[in-house]
Amino acid sequence: MKERTKLLLIIFTYVVCYYVPWDSQTIRQSGLEAFMMLQEYAREHVLTCLIPAFFIAGAISVFVSQASVLKYFGATAKKILSYSVASISGTVLAVCSCTVLPLFAGIYMRGAGIGPATAFLYSGPAINVLAIVLTARILGWELGLARAIGAVLFAVLTGLLMAFFFRKDDEARIKGEMYLPDEEAKGRTLTQDAIFIFTMVFILIFAAFARPASGSTGLWPLIFAMKWYITGALLIVLALMLKRWFIKEERVAWVQSTWGFMKQIFPLLGAGVLVAGFMLGRPGHPALIPEHYIQSLAGGNSLWANLFASVAGALMYFATLTEVPILQGLIGSGMGKGPALALLLAGPALSLPNMLVIGGVLGVKKTTAFCSIIVVLSTIAGMLYGAI
């Protein structure tokens, strides 16, 4: 951190301590909600979602050769292949907008093009099969179908637009990568590396598997009942692979890479969760911005209502699947169907904590473009759906 940044941080902290009216009941409630939201995130998402994602990102960074990443996600890769793989990744990874961040950072820093990388960044939390099924069941099949189609199209469109806007940056990265050697892992095949990483992906999926809605029958409740047995078995398999396939130096490099991602992302993520909790609170717990304001502003199907729903969804943090019951309450309070879809398409993929971390990876300019594209596309999709 630069000395000027440290000074500005100290000044900002002083101003907050001096001027914020903490004797106000609303401000104190907002402050409490900020830390309650941070506690909720720490209890429900860090160990089961974020930590496995960090280890996956570290493994990608250390064990996956740059040539392999460039083959599927590089700026010169075939667009049909790269965007197809990126856009359907959400069907495998049932993650939230924050859990996907270390995975995205690992892929992008390893040499992926800005287009496929941002398509993956959007699709990871947005194209969640269980969430789409839950949306269709609780909010209606029309909204569930619209969410599924919109999410896949958005992943591709967002990636293509980012690749177009920042094509010069990708060209510069390609020139810098042309002479990099193919660093294959020693003593292992590509298949073994893939099995190792996919084992961690399945650990993430089962550890973070959300409780199905009450009254659900079939496969989802069975998986939820068995999730910890499956996760434990996968951890044993992972430990055996680490012992037999990897030497000590590789295991140390993996841990160091994982720690690097954690140092980069955790502080920004924590700060973002606190700000989001202070401003918006948790569902059913008011903070600085009352929930009824959002409900009253998102009624109907006007341009303003859809835009407001997109921006509000982009700023709010939604844990995996929580957007469905939240939206159910908002629709019951008068939110229009168009704004509901706009919030569904922008909300799970973006959040204030998510934006802060993306800014640390991509920079302010690319992050602003990425968020703006999603908000604009979500607004247009909401207006079209509301008009049908």
| Alpha carbons 238 and 296: distance in angstroms, whole number | 50
Write the burial class of residue 315 (CB in 10 Å: 0-12 exposed, 13-18 middle, 19+ buried): buried
- CA dihedral 251→113→83→363, nearest 10 degrees, is 90
Exposure string over 336-355, b if 16+ CB within 10 A, otherwise e: bbbbbbbbbbbbbbbbbbbb
3-state helix, strand, coil in the chain (%, to 5): 75, 0, 20
- CA dihedral 340→351→304→279, nearest 10 degrees, is 110
| Alpha carbons 110 and 330: distance in angstroms, whole number | 41
- The radius of gyration of the chain from alpha carbons, rounded to an integer in Å, stands at 21
| Alpha carbons 341 and 384: distance in angstroms, whole number | 10
Contact 337, 298 (CB under 8 A): no
Residue 52 structure tokens = 């496995």
| 117-123-126 Cα angle (round to 5) | 150
88 contact partners, CB below 8 Å, separation of at least 6: 123, 127, 152
213 three-state secondary structure:
coil
Ordered per-residue pLDDT tens for the chain, 388 residues: 568 878 888 898 898 888 888 888 888 888 888 888 888 878 877 777 778 878 887 887 777 665 666 567 766 667 787 888 777 766 655 566 676 777 788 778 777 788 888 888 888 778 766 677 667 877 788 888 898 888 888 988 998 999 889 888 777 665 545 444 455 545 677 788 888 888 988 888 788 777 776 767 778 788 888 889 999 999 999 999 999 888 888 889 888 888 887 887 778 777 777 877 787 777 667 788 776 776 677 777 889 999 988 998 888 777 656 677 677 767 766 788 899 899 989 988 888 878 888 888 888 899 999 999 999 999 999 999 988 8
Locate the domains of the chain by residue range: 36-387
Contact 40, 282 (CB under 8 A): yes
Tell me the sheet residues that pair with 285. Answer: 282
Instruction: Name the pTM for this structure.
Output: 0.65
Contact 63, 250 (CB under 8 A): yes
